């Protein structure tokens, strides 16, 4: 039995990843922070399609909750074969307008949460001498986004962290890669008006917004044997907007 843990999997990109990995035969742990109903909907879709899934509440900014999720998954399902560190939040606006609480919350959720999940998963994977870790960054982690400075900092940190961890774990048979989505049509962009979205799409060479499935497809490939010689890489899924 192959097992995958996906944080932030109750909606958007995480939901698409969870469903896609379930179709590849993984038992899926659908991590969520607050919306149990949405997480259960994801599980129900997977189960209806013949898969195995279980929702697990975990605020990734709390290390004790991350540790508990990984330990629970290991105890119940055995090996942990794939971990996707997807949970994240945004903070749009001028840096001077961000409170201490907002800055800390974004950093602790996006960057520290990713690092903590990868640390706890690595403990299991090292004992197995196998595993796949995929972190989810952003194009703004590659080039920085105006009025998203703190968010960009966390996503840039995820890229550097992923490259370093890949070198650290490679000899143990564990691959670590990063996916950097571009403009994806999800709730995280709900602060934008339709005109603003249209302006962004107009700058994308492929002339459309990305979908959660576009990102999920990259994750599925990275965790497959077809990518067995790929580690420490950043796969940009952005329609050519950032090259």
Helix (H) or strand (E) holding 199: helix 194-202
Instruction: Tell me which of 26, 32, 56, 151 is the catalytic residue.
Output: 151
Domain regions of the chain by residue span: 2-237
- Are residues 215 and 184 in contact, defined by beta-carbon separation less than 8 angstroms? yes
- Candidates 102, 110, 13; CA nearest to 60 is 110
Q: Please state whether beta strands 2-6 and 53-57 pair in parallel, antiparallel, or not at all (unpaired).
A: unpaired
Residue 151: active-site member = yes
Rounded to an integer, what distance in angstroms lies between the CA atom of residue 58 and that of residue 108?
13
Coil, helix or strand for 211?
coil
CATH 3.40.50.150 is right for the domain spanning 2-237: no
Question: How does DSSP assign 64-129, residue by residue?
Answer: HHHHHHHHHHHHHHS---EEEE-------S-GGG--HHHHHHHIIIIIIHHHHHHHHHHHHHHHHT
pLDDT tens per residue, the chain (243 residues)? 899 999 999 999 999 999 999 999 999 999 999 999 999 999 999 999 999 999 999 999 999 999 999 999 999 999 999 999 999 999 999 999 999 999 999 999 999 999 999 999 999 999 999 999 999 999 999 999 999 999 999 999 999 999 999 999 999 999 999 999 999 999 878 778 899 999 999 999 999 999 999 999 999 999 999 999 999 999 999 999 999
Helices (H) then strands (E): counts for the chain: 9, 7
- Are residues 134 and 159 in contact, defined by beta-carbon separation less than 8 angstroms? no
The region, left, alpha or beta by phi > 0 then psi within -120 to 50, assigned to residue 69 is alpha
pTM: 0.97
């Amino acid at each position: 039995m192959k097992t995958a843990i996906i944080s932030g999997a109750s909606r958007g990109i995480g939901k698409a990843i969870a469903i896609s990995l379930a179709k590849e035969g993984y038992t899926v742990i659908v991590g969520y922070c607050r919306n149990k109903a949405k997480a259960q909907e994801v599980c129900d879709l997977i189960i209806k399609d013949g898969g195995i899934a279980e929702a697990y509440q975990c605020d990734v900014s709390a290390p004790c909750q991350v540790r508990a999720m990984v330990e629970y998954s290991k105890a119940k399902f055995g090996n942990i074969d794939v971990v996707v560190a997807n949970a994240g939040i945004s903070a749009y606006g001028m840096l001077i307008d961000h409170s201490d609480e907002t800055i800390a919350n974004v950093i602790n959720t996006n960057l520290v949460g990713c690092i903590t999940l990868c640390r706890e998963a690595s403990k299991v994977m090292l004992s197995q001498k196998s595993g796949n870790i995929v972190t989810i960054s952003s194009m703004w982690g590659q080039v920085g986004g105006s009025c998203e400075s703190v968010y960009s900092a966390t996503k840039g940190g995820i890229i550097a962290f992923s490259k370093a961890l890949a070198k650290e774990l490679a000899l143990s048979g564990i691959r670590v890669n990063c996916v950097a989505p571009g403009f994806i049509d999800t709730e995280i962009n709900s602060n934008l008006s339709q005109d603003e979205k249209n302006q962004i799409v107009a700058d994308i060479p492929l002339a459309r917004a990305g979908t959660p499935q576009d990102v999920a497809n990259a994750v599925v490939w990275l965790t497959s044997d077809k990518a067995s010689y790929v580690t420490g890489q950043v796969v940009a899924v952005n329609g050519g907007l950032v090259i």
